[in-house]
């Protein structure tokens, strides 16, 4: 294949918004970390939150930690693409970095809940690809929640109840991945991402490409 053919294969495209949601303990965080690690064309949207920082979390990397006053200011200035109260705290997606990344033809991964996903669907359905991650069984979810050493039995019982609640939203998503095996689940998410990248409406450079083809260039 000649150099000029190679050039033509770079058909410009609009980036997509890949949302991963799941009840806590289904493995969403590990899957998204792995996808981000392996694929340089997708980056993580860093949410703002009023939740206190957990040990090991870094401000600006895991979350942008803000107080409620600051969060409300962001909402009032329309700086958030979506926002929701999840459990006891507020979370929201800063708009500007997402729009810049999409405009550059890169993709953005969101680790947000079903409320945020619904709002993104209202704002930008065409850019959105949503995946819901389910645990393989209740017993496995229970085991995974127990393996997070820090949490007390009361917290785990509460998380199990919330998980049952959150799972009712599976049917609002484009895809569902049942996380039986970590490696398989990562591959499934990558397959979805790669197929969605090829969708015709996202390939905004396609029409020019075909024009050139027809002109024999």
**Shortest Cβ distance from residue 111 to ligand 5GP (Å)?**
5
**Shortest Cβ distance from residue 136 to ligand 5GP (Å)?**
19
CA distance 127 to 116: 14
- CA–CA distances in Å: residue 73 to residues 174, 187, 214: 32, 40, 52
Write each residue from 15 to 54 as x if it is in contact with ligand 5GP (CB under 6 A), else as -, in one continuous string. Answer: --------------------------------x---x---
Q: Name the strand (E) or helix (H) holding 175.
A: strand 175-178
- CA–CA distances in Å: residue 76 to residues 70, 73, 109: 10, 5, 24
* Footprint (CB under 6 A) of ligand 5GP, residues 139-178: none
CA distance 74 to 61: 18
Among 86, 121, 128, 186, binds ligand 5GP (CB under 6 A): 86
CA distance 123 to 5: 37
10 vs 158, beta carbon nearer ligand 5GP? 158
**Shortest Cβ distance from residue 196 to ligand 5GP (Å)?**
20
44 vs 178, beta carbon nearer ligand 5GP? 44
Q: What are phi and psi of 55, to 5 degrees?
A: -55, 135
Among 17, 19, 111, 188, binds ligand 5GP (CB under 6 A): 111
């Amino acid at each position: 294949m000649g150099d000029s053919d190679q050039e033509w294969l770079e058909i410009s495209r609009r980036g997509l918004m890949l949302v991963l949601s799941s009840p806590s303990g289904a493995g969403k965080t590990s899957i998204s970390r792995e996808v981000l690690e392996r694929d340089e064309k997708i980056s993580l949207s860093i949410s703002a939150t009023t939740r206190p920082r957990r040990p090991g979390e870094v401000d600006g990397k895991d979350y942008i930690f803000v107080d409620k006053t600051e969060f409300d200011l962001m909402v009032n200035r329309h700086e958030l693409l979506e926002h929701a109260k999840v459990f006891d705290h507020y979370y929201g997606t800063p708009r500007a970095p997402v729009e810049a990344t999409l405009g550059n033809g890169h993709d953005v991964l969101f680790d947000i809940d079903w409320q945020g996903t619904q709002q993104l669907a209202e704002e930008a359905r065409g850019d959105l690809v949503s995946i819901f991650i389910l645990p393989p069984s209740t017993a496995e979810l229970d085991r995974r929640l127990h393996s997070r050493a820090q949490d007390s039995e009361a917290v785990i019982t509460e998380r199990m109840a919330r998980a049952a609640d959150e799972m009712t939203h599976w049917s609002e998503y484009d895809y569902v991945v049942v996380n039986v095996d970590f490696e398989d689940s990562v591959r499934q998410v990558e397959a979805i991402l790669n197929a969605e990248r090829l969708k015709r409406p996202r390939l905004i450079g396609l029409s020019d490409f075909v024009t050139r083809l027809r002109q024999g260039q």
